[in-house]
Structures are given as C-alpha cells and as structure tokens.
C-alpha cells in the first residue's frame, strides 16, 4: 500500500460500543461491508480479532488499533510493540497508535520500527501540533487529530479544524478524526487541509447517534410546551407585568412608573402586585429602557428614565422574586418578539419603537443583537450633535412643542387635536413622522433589513405610520424601506423578553 491510496477519501471507523449489543464480529463485518459499498475508501478497526474478521471480506486498506486500559500509563491506543506487530500480522495496512507526550510503555520510534519491519504504514494519533512534529520526526507516515481534546480538561464538542490546518503545514498526510458528526463538519475538515476524513460514531455507533437524536427531540418537545415566565416591562411612564407562555399573555397588570422612586422600589412594587402569581411562573424576564450588560442596567438617556449607573438588575430581581432572571433592553426584546411571533415573519428585521423616547432592536440571521445595537433614538447626526434624535421626535418632544405653541397637551392629546384639523398639532405630528421616516431610510441603507417594524405609542398612533410612508413615497423602490406595524402591539416587549428569558438560560 502507498500513502496516496487513501488520499481524498472517507474512512469509516467500525468500532462498536465496548460490551454493547453490537460488540460482535458479525456486526463489525456488516458495518465494514456496508461502509465500503457506500463509498468508504478505508476502514479503522479496533482489536486484532476484528481486524482478522474484516480482512477477508474487504479489499480497502484497514487502519488497525488496539485499545487497552493500563494502570501505569494513560496511553490507550496500541500501547505495546507486540500490539502493533499483531495488528500487522492480522492484516492491517496501517497501524495507528497514541503519539501524545505522556508516560508510555513503548516509544514512538520503537512502534514505527516494528511496523516498518512488517512492511506496513503508521499513523500517529495526536493531541497537539507538538505531538505531530515529534511523530513525523520519528518517521510516521500519517498524523491524525484523533486525540485532540482527550488528554485533559473538558471534552470539546466540535472537531479541531485549526489543528488540521496547522498539521497540514507540516505534512500533506493529515487524517482528520474526532467529533466529526455531520456532513458539514466533514467538508470543513477537507477545507482545513485533511487528506482523509475519519467518521466513526455518527455512522457505526447506534447508541451514540440515538442519544444525539433523543436529546434533540426531547429538547424540541420541551420547547413546544414553553415555560410560563413573569415578564416585566419597565418603561418611562408605566410598568407592565404579565404571565407569558410562548406568545400567549395569560394575565397582566399595568402600574405607573414612579420615576423618582428608583429601581429597588419599582421591583418591590411589582413583586407586591404579582404576589398571587408566585406559583404560576418558573423564571423572570425584565425588559427595560436603556443599556443592559452582564445583568447590569444603565441609562443612556436619563431624560427617558434616570437610574443608578450599573444597577445590578438581574441580581436584585433574583433576590426579590426568588426565580432565575434575565434582563434586556425593551426594544431589543420587542424586536425578538416581533421576529418570532409577529410582523417579522422569520426574516431579518429592525424594530423601531417610538414612544416616550425612541428605541430599537435588530435581528439578523435569526439572532438578536445585544449591547448598544438598535439604540437609534440616541444618534445625534440630525441635530449636528446637539441632542439625541429622540429629543426631537418622541412623545416628550411632542408635548414640549405643544407647550411652545401655547397648548398644555400630552402627545396623545396632540394626536387628538391633529385629527380634529388643528394646524399646530398637524405640524408637530408631521415633523416627528418626517424625522422617523428619515431614520428608517438611513437604517435601510446601513442594514438593508427585509422590513422595519414600527411600534410604540407614537409609532402606532392613528395616522402616524401613514405619514411616515408618505415621506418615503418618492424614493426608488429598491432603496425604500418596507414599514410594517408591530403585530404584538404593547405586548411585543413582554412576549419577547419572556422568550429570551427561556432561550438564553
């Protein structure tokens, strides 16, 4: 056999679970024949007996190994020279052995010499690049990634693609092996530089494959019966608490946010209000205006809601409610709610909430962006840096402009007066809608989402979205954002934070 005989090939490892129901020669022979019939160009077989059993029924090369559990050494794969010689005599074309830098019964050099004396090739099962260097210096024919992740510490989940690439710089004869469970991972190993790819458990260990599917199916069934979450949305003017299961709001209450009282008092007030629900939920999700990082809450625009910097929101919520807690920005939570259950329809979206202030959230490739992403209300370009956009567009701005015009009116009252045809109110609504529409145009150019979902008390006020669309009507259709109203309305934030609280656990 020549080394290039297994170049660019799939190698199937036919190793049943020790003492399992398929740990018998007839099953190993069946695995081997089926693998070869399906296109495998080589086999990896454990034990002298199984190599002897398989050799007469296949013509492809066999990589032989012996596994032993030794008291005096951690080396398990072909530890003794006698093992290597026996495998060669049994019909193995390549003898593989542990090549790690650990206490060992026989040196790598001795194993290579013994196998060469039998006219066979060698494969070094390595855990690191240093192992590969040493093995190649000793004269091995192939190096493999077999033992990467198995010589200490927690076992990784994915194959070691970086080690494959590093080994490829030393030799073209790199065999990728270890935790290759999907066709995508096998292809990635090829791209990383492997000359051949070994797949074992995913093909020949029914017990392992069954356990993977069992875990996935159980998880999916658990997800189809979602937990009930106490979802809390703390806003600048009001706080909503609800019991949420999936997209269903089972119960809800709304209380005014006592702005001067502070977050400790807000949590205590909510806890008192929802005391009768204490046995109906398993975790808590909290959506808040501002910035949440590592469970700590900070205000980005104190005018919306002033809070102590780096307030330990998740820690305090756990203490108050006695249940696992998760927190996120309210608009980011609403974006996730609309993506999963509302107007998002499962596509990339930007959510824009226009209310007391302006917030936003972004979902790209099925993942919500956290941190500062989506805080569109705080951009300062339109004001030449003088103030945040929300201070010139939101509900607070509308009330302020009304007062300048001689009318002591809230944002809701401004809309009522605009609907009655009062010009001063129309001018305020139109200016706000123009700025919001311009923001959407900029968002489209920067992120190109499939749609921009508009929510919030101002965004969903009668006629506001229509005015935004009118402002964008003259733009080339290729550049014009698709605006959609939030289907979940005022519930977007609590439904979204409930979902995130479960999924981010």
Q: Is the pLDDT of residue 382 over 80?
A: no
Q: How far is CA 400 from CA 65, 239, 352, 356, 493, in A?
A: 80, 23, 22, 12, 27
Taking each helix axis from N to C end, the angle separating 411-419 and 423-447, rounded to the nearest 10 degrees, works out to 110
Q: How far apart are alpha carbons 162 and 456 in whole angstroms?
A: 47
Please tell me whether residues 76 and 173 are part of one structural domain.
yes
Q: Is the pLDDT of residue 311 over 80?
A: yes
Domain limits at 457? 346-485
Average pLDDT over residues 147-174: 94
Domain boundary among 184, 212, 240: 212
Q: Considering only residues 397 and 377, tell me which one the structure prediction assigns the higher pLDDT.
A: 397
Q: What does the pLDDT look like over 470-481, one tens digit per residue?
A: 999 988 988 899
Domain count, the chain: 3
* CB-based contacts of 97, cutoff 8 Å, min separation 6: 65, 77, 78, 79, 84, 108, 111, 122, 123, 124, 125
- Read off the tokens for 151: 């010589």
Dihedral sign, Cα of residue 183, residue 186, residue 192, residue 194: negative
Please tell me whether residues 140 and 81 are part of one structural domain.
yes
Give the pLDDT confidence score for residue 81 in this predicted structure: 98
Give the pLDDT confidence score for residue 372 in this predicted structure: 81
Q: Is the pLDDT of residue 370 over 70?
A: yes
Please tell me whether residues 131 and 173 are part of one structural domain.
yes
Burial group, residue 251, by CB count within 10 angstroms (0-12, 13-18, 19+): middle
Please tell me whether residues 31 and 107 are part of one structural domain.
yes
Q: How far apart are alpha carbons 336 and 496 in whole angstroms?
A: 5
Does residue 79 form part of some domain?
yes
Average pLDDT over residues 9-23: 96
Helix (H, G, I), strand (E, B) or coil at 246: coil
Q: Is the pLDDT of residue 439 over 70?
A: yes
Q: How far apart are alpha carbons 480 and 485 in whole angstroms?
A: 16
Give the pLDDT confidence score for residue 303 in this predicted structure: 67
Give the pLDDT confidence score for residue 182 in this predicted structure: 95
Please tell me whether residues 197 and 257 are part of one structural domain.
no
Q: Is the pLDDT of residue 505 over 70?
A: no
Dihedral sign, Cα of residue 97, residue 101, residue 107, residue 108: positive
- Read off the tokens for 287: 């959506």
Domain boundary among 212, 237, 257: 212
Please tell me whether residues 158 and 277 are part of one structural domain.
no
Strand partners, 285: 231, 326
% pLDDT > 70, the chain: 98
Does residue 181 form part of some domain?
yes
Q: Considering only residues 303 and 307, tell me which one the structure prediction assigns the higher pLDDT.
A: 307
Does residue 237 form part of some domain?
yes
Q: Using 50, 70 and 90 to split pLDDT, how confident is the model at 191?
A: very high
Which residue in 38, 78, 59, 49 sits closest to 204, CA to CA? 38
Q: How far apart are alpha carbons 109 and 135 in whole angstroms?
A: 8
* CB-based contacts of 168, cutoff 8 Å, min separation 6: 174, 192, 193, 194
Please tell me whether residues 324 and 444 are part of one structural domain.
no
Please tell me whether residues 130 and 176 are part of one structural domain.
yes
Average pLDDT over residues 147-164: 92
If you average pLDDT over every residue of the chain, what do you get?
92
Q: Which helix (H) or strand (E) holds 171?
A: none
Please tell me whether residues 326 and 357 are part of one structural domain.
no
Q: Is the pLDDT of residue 221 over 80?
A: no
Q: Is the pLDDT of residue 399 over 70?
A: yes
Give the pLDDT confidence score for residue 223 in this predicted structure: 65
Q: Which helix (H) or strand (E) holds 70?
A: none
Which residue in 321, 347, 300, 344 sits closest to 487, CA to CA? 344
Give the pLDDT confidence score for residue 379 in this predicted structure: 87
Does residue 341 form part of some domain?
no
Q: Using 50, 70 and 90 to split pLDDT, how confident is the model at 391?
A: confident
Q: What does the pLDDT look like over 491-502, one tens digit per residue?
A: 999 999 999 999
Cβ 99 vs Cβ 135: under 8 Å? yes
Task: Residue 100: give its domain's CATH number.
Answer: 3.20.20.70
Output helix, strand, coil percentages for the chain, rounded to the nearest 5.
40, 20, 35
Q: Which helix (H) or strand (E) holds 433?
A: helix 423-447
Does residue 443 form part of some domain?
yes
β-pairing verdict for 248-256 and 296-298:
unpaired
Which residue in 50, 70, 62, 80 sits closest to 123, CA to CA? 62
Please tell me whether residues 401 and 257 are part of one structural domain.
no
Does residue 101 form part of some domain?
yes
Give the pLDDT confidence score for residue 173 in this predicted structure: 98
Please tell me whether residues 126 and 27 are part of one structural domain.
yes
Please tell me whether residues 254 and 200 are part of one structural domain.
no
Average pLDDT over residues 422-427: 94
Average pLDDT over residues 178-197: 97
Does residue 219 form part of some domain?
no
Q: Is the pLDDT of residue 380 over 70?
A: yes
Task: Residue 241: give its domain's CATH number.
Answer: 3.30.420.40
Q: What does the pLDDT look like over 248-286, one tens digit per residue?
A: 999 999 988 888 888 999 999 999 999 999 899 999 999
Q: Is the pLDDT of residue 381 over 80?
A: no
Give the pLDDT confidence score for residue 347 in this predicted structure: 85
Q: Using 50, 70 and 90 to split pLDDT, how confident is the model at 375?
A: confident
Q: Is the pLDDT of residue 345 over 90?
A: no
Which residue in 105, 101, 95, 102 sits closest to 140, CA to CA? 95
Does residue 28 form part of some domain?
yes
* CB-based contacts of 294, cutoff 8 Å, min separation 6: none
Burial group, residue 410, by CB count within 10 angstroms (0-12, 13-18, 19+): middle
Q: Worst-scoring range by mean pLDDT, 107-116, 163-172, 266-275?
A: 266-275
């Amino acid at each position: 056999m020549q080394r290039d005989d297994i170049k660019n090939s799939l190698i199937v490892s036919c190793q049943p679970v020790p003492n399992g129901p398929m740990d018998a020669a007839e099953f190993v022979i069946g695995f081997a024949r089926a693998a070869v019939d399906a296109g495998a160009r080589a086999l990896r077989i454990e034990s002298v007996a199984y190599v002897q059993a398989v050799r007469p029924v296949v013509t492809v090369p066999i990589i032989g190994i012996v596994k032993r559990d030794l008291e005096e050494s951690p080396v398990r794969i072909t530890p003794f020279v006698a093992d290597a010689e026996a495998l060669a005599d049994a019909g193995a074309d390549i003898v593989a052995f542990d090549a790690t830098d650990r206490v060992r019964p026989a040196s790598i050099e001795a194993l290579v010499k013994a196998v060469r004396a039998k006219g066979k090739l060698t494969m070094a099962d390595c855990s690191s690049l240093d192992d590969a260097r040493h093995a190649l210096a000793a004269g091995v024919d192939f190096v493999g990634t077999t033992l990467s992740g198995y010589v200490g510490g927690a076992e990784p989940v994915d194959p070691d693609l970086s080690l494959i690439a590093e080994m490829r710089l030393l030799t073209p004869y790199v065999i990728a092996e270890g935790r290759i469970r999907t066709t995508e991972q096998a292809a990635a190993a090829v791209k990383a530089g492997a000359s051949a790819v070994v797949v074992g458990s995913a093909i020949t260990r029914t017990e392992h494959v069954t356990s993977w599917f069992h875990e996935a199916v159980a998880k999916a069934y658990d997800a189809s019966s979602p937990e009930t979450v106490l979802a809390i949305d703390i806003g600048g003017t009001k706080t909503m608490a609800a019991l949420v299961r999936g997209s269903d709001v089972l119960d809800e209450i709304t209380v005014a946010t006592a702005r001067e009282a502070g977050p400790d008092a807000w949590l205590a007030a909510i806890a008192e209000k929802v005391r009768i629900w204490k046995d109906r939920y398993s975790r808590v999700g909290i959506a808040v205006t501002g910035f949440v990082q590592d469970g700590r809450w900070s205000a980005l625009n104190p005018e919306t809601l002033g809070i102590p910097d780096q307030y330990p929101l998740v820690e305090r919520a756990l203490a108050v409610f006695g249940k696992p807690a998760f927190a996120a920005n309210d608009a980011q939570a609403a974006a996730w709610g609309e993506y999963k259950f509302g107007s998002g329809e499962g596509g990339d979206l930007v959510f824009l909430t226009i209310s007391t202030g302006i917030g936003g959230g972004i979902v790209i490739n099925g993942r919500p962006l956290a941190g500062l992403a989506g805080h569109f209300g705080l951009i300062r370009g339109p004001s030449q840096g003088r103030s945040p956009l929300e201070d010139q567009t939101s509900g607070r701005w509308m009330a302020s402009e009304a007062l300048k015009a001689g009318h002591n009116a809230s944002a809701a009252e401004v809309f009522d007066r605009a609907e009655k045809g009062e010009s001063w109110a129309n001018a305020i609504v139109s200016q706000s809608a123009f700025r919001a529409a311009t923001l959407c145009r900029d968002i489209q150019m920067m992120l190109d989402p499939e749609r921009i979902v508009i929510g919030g008390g101002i965004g969903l006020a009668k006629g506001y979205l229509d005015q935004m669309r009118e402002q964008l009507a003259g733009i080339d259709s290729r550049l014009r954002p698709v605006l959609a109203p939030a289907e979940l309305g005022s519930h977007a934030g609590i439904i979204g934070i409930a979902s995130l609280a479960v999924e981010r656990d």
